[in-house]
Chain A
Amino acid sequence: MEALPEFALARPRTIAELAAARAAHPDAGLLGGGTDLMVNIRRGIVAPKVLIETKGVAALRTIAAAESGFEIGASATLVEIAEHAELRRHFPGVAEAAQSIAGPTQRIMGTLGGNLCLDTRCIYYNQSQWWRAANDHCLKTTGTMCHVAPKSRGVCFATYSGDLAPALMALGAKVELLGPAGQRRLDLAALYIGESRHDGKGKGDGKNFLGLLPGEIVLRVRVEDRGGWRSGYDKMRIRRSIEYPVAGVAVALKREGDALAGLGIAVTGTNPRPVLLEGTEALLGRAPDAAGFAKLDDLVRDQIMAMKTTFTQGFYRRRVAGVLARRLVERLWNI
């Protein structure tokens, strides 16, 4: 038996108990399904002294129609999101993204909150203790140098690979947070600050990629049904289950007659944050034609930053992201 490091487990049942536990232990690990956090604890990558289990908070397990959309609690499981018939009817992209995560057993365990806050990944980080020690620890753990970009001057490039964030961001979802200073709501895209600018002047990076304030927790996500929008999610993996993406793309679009009237695209698996593409309005007002797709490919290639954080080469991930985006726009346009 390989013992885990010592930690205390808190099992709150209500949002108030959860918030109190979090406020008392701002450095605690938030434990959803454990499919990400427990792996990292077992590998000696992180060693929180306190774990706060979120699944016991019944009020956060609901998926409910609210106003003109849906509210999904942070402790709703991935299988519940994937199999929720009403949610799938309104927002197929969200259900497709949930269905694409890991394998069926991981989806029974994993939660929305865990997937949104999924730790960033890198081939120099997601390794055993002895592997990392032999290679000199990277700066996302205890080291001083990024092995992916040795000249990065303290900037980490570990890759964000959650699937629900891009699917929800493309639809303009908001996230509700609770912290010691109270509740606040922001665009889900604004939760992700991992800009990782090479000059070190970005807001965050692969190590500091979530815009949560100390003691803050994700309560739920709200996605509005804006009427007439179609959505989808697609990703490429080397293996079709229990595998992280080469690249994942979420598209939400609105078609009016023969013209694109709205387009949101978000990409995962390439940057230290899910990237909500800027400049997609350049494709609006006409049907997506060859020129439009060329423009789309430019947007993808310009804004994503596939570094050597996975076993798949960066240039290939960039190409795959562009192809997935084009295919998905074509599929949704022709529904």
Chain B
Amino acid sequence: MPRLLTLTLNGRARSDAVADNLLLLDYLREKLGLTGTKTGCDGGECGACTVLIDDRPVLSCLTLAASCEGRRIDTVEALSADGKLNAVQRGFHEKLGAQCGYCTPGLVMASEGLLRRDPDPDEAAIREALASNICRCTGYVKIIEAVRHAARLRAEAAAP
């Protein structure tokens, strides 16, 4: 049965009629056309579908849209502004943190969630925070460099 879902998506309030059995992933991709969030394993094992709910990473392939009533959701589409990549996206771009790119939106969102919580994580904290995301290309070394670089870019941008 459809219900009215009201939430804040990428900084904007919106309301949509959603079915109880609609996944957040399908709501984003199929209903709203926000295809930056990727469908990977469909089983909560790969992290490609990671989005932020109230700033914390969540797997949208296992979350019902109807459960997000009143929550604040950020997808990878929210990160760039005025045509400019944000710090995490620049970090992945400049340090070659993406290869085939399929896992990248999920890893970017998990990293964004980490930096919003811990602006200066050490390598162990980065490894720990990204342990729910699988990348089959990079071997992770470049991704960790990318997140460290992103933390520096954020700090520079925040400096007076």
Contact = CB atoms under 8 A, between A and B. Distances in A.
B58 A108 contact: yes
A103 B132 contact: yes
Interface string B1-41: 10000000000000000001111001001100000000000
Contact of A105 (B29, B57, B64): B57
Which of A34, A42, A102 is the most central at the interface, judged by chain B CB atoms within 10 Å of its CB? A34
Q: Chain B interface: which size bin?
A: 20 to 34
Given A35-B44, A104-B129, A241-B132, A6 B21 contact: yes
Contact of A242 (B20, B69, B128, B131): B131
B39 to A, nearest CB: 9
Given A108-B57, A240-B131, A241-B132, A9 B66 contact: yes
A104 B107 CA distance: 13
B132 A7 contact: no
A241 B131 CA distance: 6
B58 A105 contact: yes
Contact of A34 (B29, B42, B63, B133): B63
A108 B113 CA distance: 12
Interface core residue of A3, A6, A104, A108 (most chain B CB under 10 Å): A104
A108 B56 contact: yes
A34 B64 contact: yes
Contacts of B105: none
Contacts of A31: 64, 67
A7 B30 contact: no
A63 to B, nearest CB: 17
Contacts of A240: 131
A9 B56 CA distance: 23
B97 interface: no
Q: DSSP class of A's interface residues: helix, strand, loop or mixed? A: loop
Contacts of B110: 104-105
A9 B58 contact: no
A39 B21 contact: no
Contact of B62 (A9, A38, A51): A38
Contacts, number: 87
A38 B42 CA distance: 10
A42 B21 contact: no
Nearest to B50: A105
A66 interface: no
A309 to B, nearest CB: 18
Interface string B120-135: 0000000011111110
Given A38-B44, A109-B63, A7 B58 contact: no
A259 interface: no
B47 interface: yes
B57 A43 contact: no
Contacts of B21: 3-7, 9
A55 B61 CA distance: 18
A212 B11 CA distance: 43
B43 A9 contact: no
Contact of A8 (B20, B61, B133): B20
A42 B61 CA distance: 9
A1 interface: yes
A106 B29 CA distance: 21
Given A34-B63, A105-B58, 12 more contacts: A2-B42, A4-B21, A5-B21, A9-B64, A9-B66, A11-B69, A31-B64, A33-B62, A51-B64, A104-B57, A106-B44, A242-B45
8 contacts: A9-B20, A9-B67, A103-B133, A105-B59, A105-B110, A106-B59, A109-B58, A242-B45
